[in-house]
Amino acid sequence: MLKKIAGNKAAIVGFALLYLAFCISYIDRAAMSLALTHVGKEFSLKPDELGAVLSIFFLGYAIMQIPGGWLADRFGSKYVVIVTIAAWSVFTILTSQAWSLVSLLAIRFIFGLAEGGFPAASIKGVSELVAKPNRPKFTALLTSSNYLGSMVAPLIMAPLIISFGWRHAFEIVGIAGVVFAVAYFLAVPYRRPAPRAASVNGKARTPVRDLMKNPLMWQLLVVWFGLSCVNKGLDSWMPTYLLQQRGLDLKAVGLLTPVPFLMATISTAMGGWVMTRFFAQREKYLLMASATLTGIFLYAMYKAETVAGVIFFQSLVYFFKSFVLATVIALPTKVLADDQIGTGIGIVNVGGQGAGSVAPYVMGVLVASFGVYDAAFNFLLVMTAMSVVVAATIRTPAPEAAAQAA
C-alpha cells in the first residue's frame, strides 16, 4: 500500500512519523493502567478512586477533540501535532511527581487536554499526504498504530516499573516523547492548508455548523461511544482484573496483555481496505456484524474458565471491535470535504474519548459496589448492544452526493 506514496519521500517520512507518534501516545496512556496497582497501594486508593484516575484523563482528552481538529483544518496539522506531543510528554513526566489523589487527578486531566488534539490532527495529516480515494485505507492503517502502541506498552512499561518503580518509568517515557517532538519538527515540512471557499452557490461556507447538522457524524459518534466503552474499559481494567481475579503477577500480565492488541493491529490495518472493497455504501453492515461479534466474544471471555481462554476470547473481541474503529474513522475521510476532515474526526472521536471518561469510572464503581466484575462486564455488553442498534440506522451518502452537500 505504501507504494501509493512511494514517489514522495517526504510523504513516506511524514506518515511513518505519525504512525510512531500514535504508538508513543498509547504507550504513555497505557502506562497508568499497568501502574494502577502500584499507584493504588502508594496512595491507598479504592477501586472507584482508581477508576476516576483513569477516567479523568479521557474527560480532558474528549474536550479537546473538536478544537484540535478545527485547529488542524484551519492552520495545518504539523504544529498541532508537535505541540500536542510535547505537551503530553511533559505531563507524563509530571505524573511521576504526583503526591496525592487530588494532584494525580489534576495532572491526568491536563494530560488529557494536552493529548486530545492529536488524533484529529494526525488524521488531517494523512489527508495532506494522500489523495482522497486512498485516504480510508491509509487512515485505517494509521489508526492501527493505536493497538501496536498498546501491544508494545506492556513490554516496555512492565520491565521499567519492575526495575525502576512507576515514578521513574513515567519519567523515562516522557523524556522520550519530548525528544520525538523535536525530531518531528525537524523532519516534517509544513503544509499550508488550501484557502477555504467563502461561499458555495451563493451561500456562506460554515463547515463546522454543517458537520454539526450531519446525522452521520452523530451516528458514528454513538456507535463508537458504545464500542469504546468496551475498548477503554478493557484497556483500563484488564491488567488489574488479571492480577486480582485471575491470580497473575505483573510479569505475566506484561507478557499476555499484548496478544489481543496484536489482533487489533491486524484488523484495524486492514479495516479501511475491507470497508472500501466489500462494503462501499453498505458500511453499516460491517459495523453491525463487527459489533455483534464483539459482544458474543466479550461474553465468552468473561465466562472462560482458564487464563488461556480469557486471552483467546479477548483477542477475538479486540479483532472485531477494531473493524468498528477502522470504519468510523475512515468513513469521514471518504465523504467529507478536505476542510472538514479534522473537525469531523474530532466529532466522531468525542464518542470514543467520552467513553474513556465514563467506562473506567463506571466499571470501578460497579466493582467497588458488588466486589466482583460481573456487573462491570454486563455494562460493557449493554454498550455493545447499543452500538449495534444505532449502526442499523446509518445511511451512507454516495461520495458524489457528499461532495455536492459539502
pLDDT at 49: 84
pLDDT tops 50 at residue 404: no
pLDDT in tens, 126-146: 888 877 777 888 888 888 887
Q: Which of 213-217, 242-246, 303-307, 380-384 has the highest mean pLDDT?
A: 380-384
What confidence category does residue 194 fall into, taking pLDDT thresholds of 50, 70 and 90?
Answer: low
Q: Does the pLDDT of residue 6 top 70, yes or no?
A: no
- Identify the CATH number of the domain defined by range 2-190+206-405: 1.20.1250.20
* 277 or 89, higher pLDDT: 89
For 372, other C-beta atoms within 10 Å of its C-beta total: 11
Q: Predicted confidence band at 202 (pLDDT cuts at 50, 70, 90)? A: very low
For residue 356, what pLDDT is reported?
A: 75
Check whether 294 has a pLDDT greater than 90: yes
pLDDT of residue 400: 45
d(CA 163, CA 157): 10
Position 402 pLDDT exceeds 50: no
pLDDT bucket at 329, cuts 50 / 70 / 90: confident
268 vs 385, residue with greater confidence:
385
Domain map (residue ranges) of the chain: 2-190+206-405
**Predicted pLDDT at 335:** 79
Amino acid (1-letter code) at residue 9: K
Residue 399 has pLDDT above 70, yes or no: no
**CB hemisphere CA count around 202 (13 angstroms):** 0
Question: Using 50, 70 and 90 to split pLDDT, how confident is the model at 337?
Answer: confident
Query: Does residue 299 contact residue 374 with C-beta atoms inside 8 Å?
Result: no
Q: What angle do CA 265, 267, 269 make, to 5 degrees?
A: 65
pLDDT band at 206 (very low <50, low <70, confident <90, very high): low
CA–CA separation, 405 vs 214, rounded Å? 10
Please check whether residue 228 is in contact with residue 353, taking contact to mean a CB–CB distance below 8 angstroms.
yes
Q: Is the four-CA dihedral 187, 189, 190, 191 of positive or negative sign?
A: negative
- Distance CA(141)–CA(145), nearest Å, equals 7
Neighbours of 191 (CB within 10 A): 16
| Mean pLDDT, residues 99-119 | 89
Is the alpha carbon torsion for 221, 344, 124, 329 positive or negative? positive
pLDDT of residue 405: 46
The pLDDT, as a whole number, for residue 257 is 67
Per-residue pLDDT at 170 exceeds 50: yes
Question: HEC string of 243-290?
Answer: HHCCCCCHHHHHHHCHHHHHHHHHHHHHHHHHHHHHCCCCHHHHHHHH
Instruction: State the pLDDT confidence band at 381, using cuts at 50, 70 and 90.
Output: very high
Sign for the pseudo-dihedral over CA of 88, 92, 98, 104: positive
Question: Which residue type is seen at 240?
Answer: T
pLDDT score of 204 more than 70 = no
Q: What average pLDDT does the chain have?
A: 82
Are 287 and 294 contacting, i.e. CB atoms less than 8 angstroms apart?
no
Q: What percent of the chain has pLDDT over 90?
A: 16
pLDDT of residue 200: 47
Looking at residue 1, its pLDDT comes to: 53
- The pTM score is 0.72
Q: Is the pLDDT of residue 163 over 80?
A: yes
Average pLDDT over every residue of 239-243: 74
Q: In whole angstroms, give the CA distance from residue 239 to residue 246.
A: 10
pLDDT cut 70: percent of the chain above it? 88
Asked if residue 292 has pLDDT above 90, the reply is yes
Q: Tell me the average pLDDT across 277-286.
A: 86
Q: Give mean pLDDT, residues 54-82.
A: 84
- Grid cell 506498552 in the structure block, residue: 153
| pLDDT number for residue 355 | 83
Mean pLDDT over 191-209 rounds to 57
Q: Taking residues 348-356, what's their average pLDDT?
A: 81
Q: Is the pLDDT of residue 31 over 60?
A: yes
Distance of CA 301 to the CA centre of its chain: 22
Inform me whether the pLDDT recorded for 187 exceeds 90.
no
